[in-house]
Amino acid sequence: MKTDDLITMLVTGAGAVEAPPAAQRYALAIGWGAAGASLLMLLVLQVRHDLAQALLLPMFWVKVGFVTSLAVGSLFAALRLSRPGAVIDRVPIALGLPVLGIWAIAAFTLIDAEPLERSRLFFGDTWKSCPLLIAMLSVPVFAAVLHTMKDLAPTRPRLAGFAAGLLSGSVAAVIYCLHCPEMGAPFIGFWYLLGTLIPAGVGAVLGNSILRW
C-alpha cells in the first residue's frame, strides 16, 4: 500500500473524534476502581470500630492527607505520561512533596518521642499486614487505570506503568485508612508508602510490555 493510499484510507469516514478527554477517563476509572476497593475492604477487612472517634484526631487527617496528596500527584503523573510529548519535569515534585511532608512529620514525631517508644511508633501493631493489604485493595483501581492508560499513548511505558501503579496504591491507601488502626506518622511514612510502591513496581514491570503500542 502506498502512503497516499494509506492516508486516503485513514481519512475516509474519519469524522469527528468523540472520545472524552483523558482526565475524564481517569476519573471514571478511579471511581469504579475505588468502588471495587471499598467493597473489598468492607467484605474482607471491615471498617475500624472506633472510626467516629478517630475522625476527631488530627493524625487521622494527616494520614488521609498524605495518601490523598500522593494520589493527586500520581494522577498528575499518569495524565502527563499518557500523552505524547507532554512536559513531565514537574512530576518528581508532585510525587516527592507528599513523601517529604510525611517524612518531616515522622522525623519530628520520632525525635519528640521517648527512646523506648520509637520502635513502636515505627512498627505499630500491623506492619506485617499493612503493605500487603494496601496492595490487595489496589487491584481494582490498578486494572481500571491500566486499561484506561492502554487506550492513551504512553511514550515511556515503564514510567507510565509505575505512575498507574502508584495511583492505584495511593487510592487504595485512602480507603485502607477507614480500616487501619495505626496513627503514627513514622508507620505511615514507611509501611503505607511501601504498600503503594508494591503496585507501582508491578506497574513498571507490566507497563514495559502491555503499555507498548
Partner 1 sequence: MNREAGFRSREERLRDLLTQGLAGDDAAYRVFLTELSAHLRAFLRRRLARLPDEVEDLVQESLLAIHNLRHTYEADQPLSAWVQAIARYKLVDLLRRRAAHEMLNDPLDEEMELFSTADSDAAEARRDLNKLLADLPDRFRLPIVHTKLEGLSVKEAADVSGMSESAIKIGVHRGLKALAAKIRGAL
Residues that bind partner 1 (CB under 8 A): 1-4, 6-17, 19, 21-22, 82-86, 152-153, 155, 212-213
- Name which of 2 and 49 has its Cβ closer to partner 1: 2
- Name which of 16 and 43 has its Cβ closer to partner 1: 16
How far apart CA 140 and CA 177 sit, in angstroms, is: 17
How far apart CA 132 and CA 162 sit, in angstroms, is: 17
Task: Write the single-letter amino acid at 193.
Answer: L
177: which residues sit within 8 A by CB, 6+ positions away?
60, 63, 64, 67
- From residue 142, alpha-carbon distances to 56, 103, 112, 171 in Å are 31, 26, 38, 10
Q: How far is the CB of 25 from partner 1 (least distance, A)?
A: 10
- Name which of 19 and 56 has its Cβ closer to partner 1: 19
Cα 175 vs. chain centroid, distance in angstroms? 11
Q: How far is the CB of 202 from partner 1 (least distance, A)?
A: 22
- Name which of 106 and 164 has its Cβ closer to partner 1: 164
Task: Write the single-letter amino acid at 52.
Answer: A
Q: How far is the CB of 24 from partner 1 (least distance, A)?
A: 11
Q: How far is the CB of 79 from partner 1 (least distance, A)?
A: 10
Q: How far is the CB of 204 from partner 1 (least distance, A)?
A: 17
- Name which of 140 and 154 has its Cβ closer to partner 1: 154
Q: Are 211 and 154 in contact (CB under 8 A)?
A: yes
Indicate the helix (H) or strand (E) that contains 28: helix 22-40
